[in-house]
Structure 1
Amino acid sequence: MSVALFIPCYLDQFYPDVAIATLELLERLGVDVVYPDGQTCCGQPMANTGCTADCAPVAKRFVELFSEYDSIVCPSGSCTAMVRHHYDEYFADDDPKFNHVKSRTFELCEFLHDELQIKELDVQFPHKVSVHQSCHGLRELRLGSCSENMTVREDKVRNVLNLVHGIQWCTPTRSDECCGFGGTFAVNEADVSAAMGRDRVADHVASGSSVLASADMSCLMHLQGIIRRESAPIEVMHVAQILAGRNPKRVANA
């Protein structure tokens, strides 16, 4: 299996360790990973702001670049959802390259859970952890159950993290509530976005958690800003970093 790694632009620019951790994890699991040169943004920011014409060439470049690989793995639920659920308007229904990319693009935890079906990990993380489930992950990729839908689904993010030894789970009161980021929503509705984020941070802190984990660094970027401003006693980590054996910063810097 040839697996192409797609790294979202905000990870490339601001959180490169998440990309490195993803690569390390996949290679440790025996996956032959390729990083296609020339990859760019998936186009989600343009699409979210209604600039669909500007998004079209970006989507077409993505499909052309990644269509030769058996699978595409991305450590971001929102970017994966963009490809799987919002590229249709840019391609014909019978476009073979698009249909292949659409069906074979996976969020990281989804790939580990459904495709690799991993059963064990030699990783220790003896810390109190709570999970933020992103809206794209739940509502579009169906990585778990959400409270407004009665369908019972496996929690793929939690299942994968359960393979890590020593995690002490903390559960927020509202485990599937939006953090308020929403990409351009955080710009257009800054006050609402910040209020939602503060509410989420408070909920996770109240659960006793010391590490707030998520499969979407975009959500964590928003929450991390609030945590820093309010000096909240919690830190954020992407799931890939935990699975790759990273320590929380306070431990690594001790």
Structure 2
Amino acid sequence: MKRKNFFHRNWVRFTCLFVSLFFMTAFAYSQVRVAIITGGHGYDKEPFEAMWTSITEMKPTYFDYGAKKCDFFEKDHSDEFDTIVFYNFHQKITPKQQQNFLKMLEKGKRIIVMHHAISAFPEWNEFNKIIGAKYFLEDMEWEGKKYERSKYKHDVKIPVHVADKNHPITQGVEDFEEIDETYSGYYIAPEVHVLLTTNCPENTPFIAWVNKYNNSEIFFVQLGHGPQIFANEQFRKLISNAIKWASGKNN
């Protein structure tokens, strides 16, 4: 009788362990693998990373390259990550790295570009076509037209309106207000699909959009200076949706 109970108890323990391992493994495989590229611009690291940690459906891996060239694209990471978040600024990218970047997009990989990453690679004009925008760091002539330096302002309360409530990225996101950095006087391609707008007089009216480039789609959101925006419930919902959209898991 004791021997029977011993085997029964161990069988129950084994079964519980097996089931636990099964669900842990299934959860790990279901998580979206996200590469987050930073560097070249200061930011509030703790609240920034807390935002990503709050998105339980994803597994973030951080790559900080400082102000040097973005070595992430020294090789093709297409199979290692489901999507890539760009939060870097004013970095170099070599011709080889550019080709690896473009090959990734040709495969249909969707990416997310946040805030100051609008100027991630200012010397690479193709990047502006990829994201559908260009922020002018100085007065310059670009694409045959003269532009004045773009403007920014810190700590402005920005009202945000959901322009397209039917897109997967904006599902469940409501209009909100938050203190963040404004951008104005920058170029936005006319063909972008606008998701968020603002009537803030110190900001460009379009504040988030999706741009199509070859076989890929790129989500750009101007918000993201922080720290307040990183804890905003609606912004977190937006970013969580964007991660799932980029991975194809909520389409």
TM-score, normalised relative to structure 1: 0.37
More helix by share: 1
More strand by share: 2
- Structure possessing the higher radius of gyration over alpha carbons: 2
TM-score, normalised relative to structure 2: 0.37
